[in-house]
Amino acid sequence: MKKIAFVTGMTGQDGPYLAKHLLEHDYKVYGLVKRYSNPNLSNLAYLGIEDDVELITGDITDDANMNHLMKSLRPNEFYNLAAQSFVGASWELNKQTSEVNAIGVLNILNAIVGHNPTTKFYQASTSELYGNANTDGTQDENTPFHPRSPYGVSKLYAYWMTVNFRESYSLHASNGILFNHESPIRGKEFVTRKVTDGVARIKLGLAKKLTLGNLDARRDWGFAGDFVEAMYQMVQQDEAGDYVVCTGVQHSIRELLTHAFETARITDWEQYIESDPRFKRPAELHALHGSYAKAEKVLGWKPTTSFKDMVALMVNEDIKRLSHDLR
């Protein structure tokens, strides 16, 4: 009999990549989509799995709904990738961000304890937990947390609730502290995809300028297709735990722009960039740089896609999409 995996956040970026990975391991995959919505399944279609995932309507902020789904499906594994995940918007949407990212996780954990405590749980955590902690070195599992946004604070609640349920109820519950990870199906509200889409539009003559905020912000960016393997490996371990998932290499927005314009074969890219302070965060993080040493040692995981190759993939896919739309 196939193992059953339940994945939330199926219309985002990570859900489809994880679902594809699980299907390749012969799982029966259920995906949660919000009720009362017309879900955009283009990301599943991009990966060629839109007919292979069984979609279920629901909402993690509805505790009764989570109890019902856990009782009826009794999944072997539960991967929570649902979130209000845009950090910038979390300032204006702080209540919604908290309800989804914090209370939603509590609802899932309570449902697991109440109806199927053998379910292995994965919580998608984030490097935003660190804020500006230890910016002179690297962030790992022992670095103190100091979130600098409502998004980071909400994720910190979910992180510690996952740890406490693991310790109090002996749940197999793990946190993946994921640094930034991107792909061709990343939302355009995120700076990497905003850049690659913008560069593609400039290349095709559809735009003349690309407006951004802080070009000196630095991040540890990886490829989503690599990161879902780490999520899967955490859940396969005999003992649950918390792991940093990253590349260990830091890049600036300027480097992102350089690689993107190089891929599009556009020189002197500075002339196409405009800076707008509205795109800067109220509390900007200037440097995030992780260490995946624990994940490599315990899970046997390490990233395989370089930053330059990932940016090139994203730019080329955006050029392909836009070219198709022009036909």
Q: Show which residues are catalytic.
A: 126, 128, 151
On whether the CB atoms of residues 167 and 155 are closer than 8 A, the answer is no
- From the list 231, 251, 232, 230, the residue with the least C-alpha distance to 306 is 251
Quote the DSSP letter at residue 278. G
- From the list 126, 137, 42, the residue with the least C-alpha distance to 83 is 126
Quote the DSSP letter at residue 302. -
- Single-letter amino acid, residue 285: L
Quote the DSSP letter at residue 144. P
Contacts with 253 (C-beta within 8 Å, 6 or more apart), sequence order: 191, 195, 212, 214, 215, 216, 217, 218
Report the 3 state secondary structure along 179-216: CCEECCCCCCCCHHHHHHHHHHHHHCCCCCCEEECCCC
Tokens of 256: 């992102």
